[in-house]
Structure 1
């Protein structure tokens, strides 16, 4: 990866995912709840019947939580705490896009995982003497898994495929690094 600060900023922006969808969803939920509670308060002040629950009933039921069985209160507390923990972790951690940075000095080069998978599939099928249609590759943040389905009667050399895929990944200089794993199906397909 390039040491130029602008390239570092560009690659960071292109490989990280914002949490705006989560933030917008939570904001909409909170707005709806506050509008509903405000509407209930206004209806109660006007002497109209409540839509779902009157504010006095909501307040009384909140105060009456201590009278409920301990198991229900503890379970509700655990659920609320777990939800709060998940939201806190989501707020503090960075999201990732399905992309990697190629090791180049001349430019900021960001490659989608599907492009890496396609290139690895081509090299794996060639090294394993397998039809390209019988080769599937999935690339995640730190791992590439190559699935090969051999043609019946033609054995596949796992070590040759693994070496070809590992060399190809090393030549890309991906950041973060990706490790390859090769899986060969025990059931073969009849060749065309």
Structure 2
């Protein structure tokens, strides 16, 4: 296995969450249902009392489903369909953790999105000449949104803030790449 392939595999493992928990829960539920059905069949073959219902009684209940009110059948069908849709969504969703990889020639560098947000907030605050507490940065899947509240009475050079944020994003060379969206509030706050 090449080093590049190994590093990509480690990066993927660190930036995506495992789907083992939902798979194990589903498998355990299916195993329990099969074990119950098998137990009922064995008990019926031995002529012993069933735990809940004999296999013949379960078959008769399935045949008698047509006599149940249509509303109950619809509700049951909707519940089963929702469980199926939920399982499909869990299987197909991206399951990306809020982490990114940074460029490195020798190793894998994985950084939490909060660290990137903190660095962007610091650079935006420095470029705007405001307190870092007046800057809020949220990092999404593809976008870093910077919201800056200026000090009351002091203008903020929007282009300098955008340039500083974009420069910080370019310097980090994070994967997947980020685009910035900068918003400067119209009303300022009193103090530094």
Same fold, judged at TM 0.5 (above): yes
In the TM superposition, what whole-angstrom CA distance separates every residue of 1:109-143 from its partner, at most 9, and x where no partner exists? 21111111111110111112221011121112212
In the TM superposition, what whole-angstrom CA distance separates every residue of 1:1-52 from its partner, at most 9, and x where no partner exists? xx8222212211211210122223334555666677778889997558x7xx
2:148: which partner in 1?
A: 148
Q: Tell me how far apart the structure 1 counterparts of residues 186 and 79 of structure 2 sit (CA, whole Å).
A: 44
Q: Tell me how far apart the structure 2 counterparts of residues 66 and 161 of structure 1 sit (CA, whole Å).
A: 68
Q: How many residues align?
A: 187
* TM-align CA RMSD: 3.1
2:124: which partner in 1?
A: 124
> What stretches of structure 1 of length at least 5 have no aligned partner?
none
TM-score (norm 1): 0.77
1:80: which partner in 2?
A: 80
Indicate the SS of the match to 1:190.
Answer: coil
Classify 1:93/1:135 alpha carbon distance in 2 versus 1 (closer, same or farther; 3 Å): same
Deviates more, 1:58-67 or 1:89-98: 58-67
2:188: which partner in 1?
A: 188
TM-score (norm 2): 0.77
1:23: which partner in 2?
A: 23
> What stretches of structure 2 of length at least 5 have no aligned partner?
none
